[in-house]
A and B are shown apart, each in its own frame.
Chain A
Amino acid sequence: MATKINPGFSKELKKYGAVNMNACYNCGTCTAVCSLSTTDDSFPREMVRYSALGLEEDIKSSLKPWECYYCGECTANCPQTANPGELMMSLRRWLTAQYDWTGLSGLLYRSLSSTIAALLLVLAGVLLFANSVDFNAERMLHIGHYFEMTAIGAVLLVIFLPNLLRMWYFTIVKPKVKAPFKNYVTALSDLLVHMFTQKRYKECDGDVHFRWLEHFVLVIAYLSLLFTTVFLNWFGSQSIFVIVLGYVESFLIFVVTIDFVGSRIKKNKSLNQFSQPSDWLFVIWLLLMGVTAFLVRLFIDLGLIETQQWMYIIHLTVLAQWALIIVPFGKWTHFLYRSFAMYFLKIKSMQ
């Protein structure tokens, strides 16, 4: 069965951040220089080709966009400046939108004004909530803590679970990959290893692995801070251990994200050349999360929070925007999809 081509697809991809991919003349330099591409599993040229021809089904069933960690070597070596690295990045955004059953991901990626509207909407919600409890710091902290737990659970059940099932359907079921249940169990270790170490990232980060290390520290610090605030109730805790742990974690998040934001401003690496609104949103909100959480706890420790409630309102706004927009529909999802892509790849390879 012949595949129908759709040249108009490249226009659609441009909305997800693809830059100049039409310049590609298929020399294959990108694939040759890629440190992760292998003979059996080669990219990014194939993905550039599929994108130019608009083979949406083939892209949708492919895990290759997730195999790329954007070291930028392909873009740096491309003789046509077709920017294969950024194409892979935009394919990840496009795939995220495809996996998302609500369609909100796609909307937010394509339209900056929708994103701003959503952020303002959440801000309004937080202010309404604060007003309803008369800006009482203690009550806000109390309800805020429950909000965190509820949000995590809801996003997990309502958004992530169906989306991961969709991803599984597109990449395993539809292409008719036969995998016995046993393989799903055996491959679980791969899922966890990739989720918490991003070890593949190391292979495309030169000899020093500094970028990987930064990223690794950020992931661990972020996850622990999440655990510390939600399950150890950092803001309510009296334990000196928990309090110091929270300070350290939020400080680490601040340090790494400030470097990330700096790189994106300086555009000193090819992966930073074409930052999309979704990229800015992700790093800046992560930075704000670290800073505001740190300050809230500091205000508590200095006994200021009762009079300076605005500090917590800011933190809660950032937190709610993060939990309701960026986590379920934005760049945060790459944490899940990348790990699951590795998991599905392992399952595919076990046949």
Chain B
Amino acid sequence: MKERLGVYICHCGGNISDYVDVEKVRAAIEHEEGVVFAKTTMFACSDTNQTDMVQDIHEHNLDGVIVASCSPKLHLTTFRNVTERGDLNKYTYVHANIREQASWAHSDDKLGATEKAIHLVKAAIAKSRYADPLFPNQFEAEKTIAVIGGGIAGMKAALSLAEKKSNVILIEKGNRLGGHTAEWGSLFMTDEKGFELTTRIENDLRKYNNVTILTGEEVIDTKGSIGNFELKIRRQPQKEDDPMEIMELHVGSIVVATGYDHYLPKQGEYGFGTNETVITLPEFKQLVDKSTSKSLEFKGKKINNIAYVYCVGSRQSEGENTYCSRFCCTSVIHTAIEAKKKFKGIQNIHLTRGIRTYGKQELLYAESLQMGDVYLEFDEHTLPEIHTEDKKTVVTVKDILSAGKEMEMEVDLVVLVTGMVPRADQSIGSMLKLPKGRDRFFNEIHMKLRPVETVIDGVTIAGTCQGPKNISESVNSALSAATKSFSYISKGTLETEPIIAKIDQDACSWCDKCSNACPFDAIEQIEMGGRTVASVNPIVCKGCGMCTPVCPVDAINLIGYTSEEIMSMIDALA
């Protein structure tokens, strides 16, 4: 029970004091039980006030501090740190929000706003009396990181971690590293071939002793949580009679870089599968890359006119892939230019939905225009049509750049510019319980603020498993994910917030209501003294409080928000 409390009431310039009579609030609470003094201040968060607070704590020998100011989202941490500097336990600090909840919400009713502010501060004082010192939970963390997926993103993440002197295990299901990147021919802007790039990175990786590369091995089960994940790995049998090999790995954090699948057009989509002159972008890239003759030939026929149909399997108005696959405009224009330079008599005709060669990739578009490539544009309502006339492939399209005039062209090859889709094999995501976005790729917590973290602590996502990206974007996200994963476990210990659920195991009789209510799977069943009771995994629990009210015997308390504290706050508000 705290007995020496200091209360600060902030003007917030005028944000609070224009509507809330802060002097009246001070007068109303200064004689509350345990309050040693109450002060008003122009800006509680200012450096001078912070210094004064530290001095006050020492001078008045305070054991609890309350600041009534803005939202705790803004300054809770600020004032917790101030009390820590005053040698108090920072979790004893209590914050009252009289700006968002009083002055801003009731700017039309100054008396009412003041009255509400008084109650809020009284409630905070009531909570403060019961606020116990708390200490962060500390755990040992495995200092090894698993990277799942050996494509460009996974390799770069592993390399980055290796450079940070972390132990890395790179797990690839296939028999070689490099993923889709290794299948591409020359790449924009370097003209380096895909496999040259991936081989270079692989060679770099193999120089490090702290990197273990597992190929042909698949993750089949995961357990545990941040700091202590347990992965079960199955070695793919090389021959039919090979015994199944299963091994267990212990890692502190996981980078998921499982990549994407190429969109495969449906049978008959733009003549795919029915017209043999219709192929996809990956097939075309292979064709251009592998052909060594002076002219381009496909199935024994010389190719001159090539039509490229953009956004196949992307930006669909009907269909589930509403997103843009980002890389395809650049990739196809790059390949078209390459084909024109490499072979004689090539005329490229692009049927686009608007060119998205953003940033420096625009140079490629400009080059293609200069080389005489023709661009026609259609929208989602009038897709191009492909049919056969006298054994010739004819493409028609209503060109919106020519006022919707219908254009016709005879072509030797139709390239469907296919985009990216999420992996058909979603097992890693299901095992780790990674949430997916509307586009069915894995979802980050916040696109801008926390772009590689997932809601599963300790698991980061890199590359195209998160959504379509080109190679450099994949690499950027991989470096970011690697750094984030490393930061979780680099100290060898983990600290988590002490504000979590705590179960009174004497009162508990395991009814599973709490574990059902828990969104983070933090509650498990354990045997204790011959009884089955619930137990909270302190590493996984986020302190959300979902389990507390559902317990029929009231055996769960949320540390920092105990029933005692909450009830006393309600009493103060009444």
Contacts and interface: CB of A to CB of B under 8 A. Distances in A.
A270 B542 CA distance: 69
A2 B374 contact: no
B402 to A, nearest CB: 5
A52 to B, nearest CB: 6
Contacts of A2: 396, 406-408
A23 B355 CA distance: 14
B307 to A, nearest CB: 10
A217 B409 CA distance: 49
A80 B369 CA distance: 10
B401 interface: yes
Contact of A52 (B355, B374, B410): B374
B374 A5 contact: yes
A24 B399 CA distance: 15
Contact residues on B (Cβ < 8 Å of other chain), bracket:
20 to 34
A5 B349 contact: yes
Contacts of A229: none
B396 A26 contact: no
B355 to A, nearest CB: 8
A25 interface: yes
B309 to A, nearest CB: 15
A239 interface: no
Contacts of B375: 25
A49 B369 CA distance: 13
Most chain-B Cβ atoms within 10 A of its Cβ — which of A8, A10, A26, A53? A53
B372 A22 contact: yes
A238 interface: no
A53 B377 CA distance: 12
A11 B372 CA distance: 9
Interface string B345-372: 0010100000100000000011001111
A247 B377 CA distance: 59
B372 A10 contact: yes
Q: How large is the interface on A (under 10, 10 to 19, 20 to 34, 35 or more residues)?
A: 20 to 34
A49 B405 CA distance: 12
Contacts of A46: 402-403
A80 B370 CA distance: 10
Contacts of B355: 25
Nearest to A58: B405
A113 interface: no
Nearest to A54: B374
A262 interface: no
Contacts of A49: 401-402
Interface in A1-36: 1-5, 7-8, 10-11, 20, 22-26
Contact of A26 (B347, B371, B401): B401
A24 B372 CA distance: 10
A3 B370 contact: no
A7 B347 contact: yes
A19 to B, nearest CB: 12
Interface of B: 347, 349, 355, 365-366, 369-377, 396, 399, 401-403, 405-410
